[in-house]
Amino acid sequence: MDALKAAFGKQLEKQANKVIGDVLGKVTGGNVKMPGALSEEEAPAPVPFSSDCSGRKKAVFVGINYFKTKAELHGCINDVKNVQAFIMEQYGFSLENIKVLTDEPASGNEPPTRVGHGDGWWEGEGRGEVERGRAPSILTLPFAHRRDMTFVRIPQTNILDALRWLVEGATAGDSLFFHFSGHGGTARDLDGDEVDNFDETILPVDFESAGQILDDEIHAILVAPLPAGVRLTSVFDSCHSGSAMDLPWSYKVDGSLDVVIIDNRKAAMEAVFNAGVAYFKGDKQRAMGHGMEAVKHMLTPGGNEEARKKAEKERTNTDADVIQFSGCRDDQTSADAKIDGQPTGAASYALLTCLRENSKQTYTDLLQSMRKVLEGKYTQIPQLSTAHPIDLKVAFTM
């Protein structure tokens, strides 16, 4: 599908626009605008950074390998160690203002659980090569095929507590950093705030018993409380992580490595694309069907409309500078790789490789260079999302 989009994207877009335009004209009288990439006229002016990163620096790292489970990964703890060492050396983060949560045995790190007590690590045999988004399938297995679990008492701490600690007392000038390396997933959206009807999630080590952590929760804890003048930089090396923080503005690298701003209306755009494919094949009836589907996504109350309202609200619910790098789009998986003989997440590796080569490059250059590192080896496409439109030509810093 991605290859088809790359090869025929412009032509399909033109055909799709014609089909959907016809449908919209008949159904709405032409009063509903097409979803998709924002034009230069529609794109809002970038908001200058209000943060200068001159104050306190705090960071939280979460790396989960899911040891001895069918969902086991191999590079997540290495990711945390490598990124932590780099930001301490390069950007002046100090150990006393860093929390590290991993499931590495006997590491002394706080455990990366969702709940604060009564849960521990899984017992079992065997290791599975898994991408960083396959873990939720464990929930669908017959009980007899699941790993047996034993529970041990752990300290009263967890991922959500660590996130609250990260933003607690934040004031203008502070620079905050959050890095998650592990499984990402999706969960059925229950509050009507997602265009594609699914929340994006991260999976704590106790996700089978305590549940996943929703993007809504991450946004409420990490983004909403931050005042103006604070900069929060986050990295999600996990599957389905494109909107893991529910940030309203997204930037992606297109085929020519240009960065374009897009509005988060994914379900409607997918229907638009499918309409273009059908029309290109000469199947006008199927094209019209997909066109009606796109219209439904744009018009159905409680679906796209609620998501649009939520996005509008999120655009104004924080004045802080919040930037998220994610390893892939919401519909993609993020690779658990082995590079130079060492297990690592492909996205974390790409980020470190690019920043080591040039730690002062702009956000545009960093996003493009990460894409180049991954291109040809992995299908995932790194994403950049923000709480408000930013000037991508500003040098990256923390």
Q: What distance in Å separates the CA atoms of residue 16 and residue 37, rounded to the nearest whole number?
A: 14
Partners of residue 233 on adjacent β-strands: 177, 323
Under the phi-then-psi rule, with left for phi > 0, alpha for psi from -120 to 50, and beta for the rest, what region is 106?
Answer: left
Q: What distance in Å separates the CA atoms of residue 287 and residue 327, rounded to the nearest whole number?
A: 32
Q: What distance in Å separates the CA atoms of residue 136 and residue 367, rounded to the nearest whole number?
A: 29
Q: What is the DSSP letter of 223?
A: I
Task: Enumerate the active-site residues.
Answer: 183, 239
Distance of CA 228 to the CA centre of its chain: 23
Q: What is the DSSP letter of 147?
A: P
Amino acid making up residue 106: A
Residues 6+ apart with CB under 8 A from 264: 195, 243, 248, 250, 307, 311
Q: What distance in Å separates the CA atoms of residue 272 and residue 94, rounded to the nearest whole number?
A: 48
Which runs of consecutive H residues, i.e. helices, occur in the chain? 2-28, 76-91, 159-167, 207-210, 215-218, 266-280, 284-299, 304-314, 346-357, 363-374
